[in-house]
Amino acid sequence: MGTLRIAMLLTESEIAAQVRTIILDLIVAVPNITPPVQPPAPALPPVEQRLDTFVKAMKTLAELTGGRLNPYMEQNCKDFAANLIADYNRQSLTSTQEKWLGVVNFAESELGKKVPLSGAHYRGHLGTWVRTFYPQLGDRQETRLVNGVQQPIYVYACHEPTVAAGLTKAVEEFFAHPSPGAALRQAGAFTSKKEPALAK
């Protein structure tokens, strides 16, 4: 029963009147509590601005290191810039808002994750994780620059909310797992699909 209704029923005695007064005073004293307003999620700046910032950062880094960068880091930066330009050009030419991303690119650009080049949670295992445990998200492949080499990678329709949600779940599970490599081995992700060769 509501507090105000109880207070209204208690009108028959002096004690009831005192209780009613106390309850009404308490109701008046409780401040209106409004839930805090969540700030909107920050959106990424346009591609041109990200590329400009990236180029400036690379120039600064080259000045600080005397032009001697780790070759892997340098190649990763070139790949990132080339894929960013390619994606922008594809969207400009087709005038669509489709967003096809590899899972590592999705994790880094959309979720702000840092996917390492080595270790338990490295890039290759992330892609294998999605293909093994979330095959329903898609099987489209595109040729993209990876470590300076054009190679096929799986890309996902991140413009579709169900795919983006599935990728988000997959990435979160991957990083939450203490040993994704072991889970992938247990799931048979690294077993060869080739037919055994017959001995003659």
Residues 18-36: tens digit of each pLDDT:
777 787 777 777 666 666 7
pLDDT, position 74? 76
Average pLDDT of the chain, as a whole number = 78
CB-based contact 72:147 (threshold 8 Å): yes
Question: What amino acid occupies position 84?
Answer: L
pLDDT in tens, 98-117: 788 889 889 988 898 888 88
Q: For residue 122, is pLDDT > 60?
A: yes
**Mean per-residue pLDDT, 162-169:** 94
Q: Which residue has the tokens 């080259």?
A: 62
Share of the chain above pLDDT 70, in %: 76
Higher pLDDT, 140 or 145: 140
Place of tokens 């000045």: 63
Phi-psi category of residue 112: left, alpha or beta, with phi > 0 → left and psi -120 to 50 → alpha: left
What's the full length of the chain, in residues?
Answer: 200
Q: What is the pLDDT of residue 197?
A: 46
Is residue 81 within 8 A of residue 54, CB to CB? The reply is yes
More confident residue, 197 or 119: 119
pLDDT for the residue numbered 41: 64
Supply the pTM of this predicted model.
0.51
